[in-house]
Chain A
């Protein structure tokens, strides 16, 4: 079964608004990563947050991690039409083998 579950499955906002996506997982992790995928293209890495970190920033992106709740959130501030994409969280499990487990993703649409 999928380790990470994103919420919501789909999100539609206007340009300039903030977008928040959440990811929940079930077992202990080494790190959690967020990726973006434009339609039909490869995935692009956004942020990696380690289990001992609580928050990371990259430009307009802010990622938080709450290991007690086994959840993470991705905030995109001042969204742009170019942010329209699918966003996936991926977890690196403690004691897991050399792989990431991807969640189902959130489809973000930013309307101009």
Chain B
């Protein structure tokens, strides 16, 4: 199973709402990632979890709160977002090389978020 699943596929939320994005993989990968992608732009890394611990936070505003409950699940909690946060949010996972190399990342289909 080389699939990364993400729910929901689409999300519309107001600026005062709290919502969560979910990501799941069953490939035994110990590295998981959140990316944000605006239209016609490359993915921008937000967070990296390695062995369920946050290893990289790319200076993401605190209105985005990641969580890794176990090795298969990754959540992104959203609160008080701004309209400019509207984007495609992608989750990915990969093996960890143990030698500092980045291995192939497997991406989910994404959640398209619209903030009104």
Which A residues are in CB contact (< 8 Å) with B96? Answer: 98
Contact stretch, chosen from B11-19, B78-86, B101-109:
B101-109
Task: Tell me, yes or no, whether A31 is within 8 Å of chain B by CB.
Answer: yes
Q: Is the CB of A40 within 8 A of B112?
A: yes
CB-CB under 8 A for A92 and B102, given A99-B45, A102-B42 = yes
Which A residues are in CB contact (< 8 Å) with B107? Answer: 35, 42-45
Interface size, B (range): 20 to 34
Which B residues are in CB contact (< 8 Å) with A104? Answer: 41-42
Q: Which of A88-108 contact B (CB under 8 A)?
A: 88, 92, 97-100, 102-105, 107
CB 8 Å contact bits of B88-112 with A (1 = contact, 0 = none): 1010100010001111111111101
- The smallest C-beta distance from A80 to any residue of chain B, in angstroms, reads 22
Q: Is the CB of A48 within 8 A of B109?
A: no
Q: Is the CB of A99 within 8 A of B42?
A: no
Task: Tell me, yes or no, whether A18 is within 8 Å of chain B by CB.
Answer: no
Task: Tell me, yes or no, whether B70 is within 8 Å of chain A by CB.
Answer: no
Task: Tell me, yes or no, whether B116 is within 8 Å of chain A by CB.
Answer: no
Q: Is the CB of A97 within 8 A of B55?
A: yes
Report the nearest A residue to B103, measured CB to CB. Answer: A48
Which B residues are in CB contact (< 8 Å) with A92? Answer: 101-102
| Whole-angstrom CA separation of A45 from B27 in the bound complex | 15
Task: Tell me, yes or no, whether A33 is within 8 Å of chain B by CB.
Answer: yes
| Whole-angstrom CA separation of A30 from B102 in the bound complex | 8
CB-CB under 8 A for A98 and B31, given A42-B109, A43-B90, A88-B42 = yes
Q: Which residues on B are within 8 Å of A, measured CB to CB?
A: 4, 6, 31, 33, 40-45, 48, 50, 55-56, 88, 90, 92, 96, 100-110, 112
- Ranked 3 nearest A-B pairs via Cβ: A92-B102, A42-B107, A102-B42
New contact pairs (20) apart from A41-B109, A92-B102, A98-B55, CB-CB < 8 Å: A31-B102, A40-B88, A40-B110, A42-B4, A42-B108, A43-B43, A43-B92, A45-B106, A45-B107, A48-B103, A92-B101, A97-B55, A98-B56, A98-B100, A98-B102, A99-B48, A100-B45, A100-B102, A100-B105, A104-B41
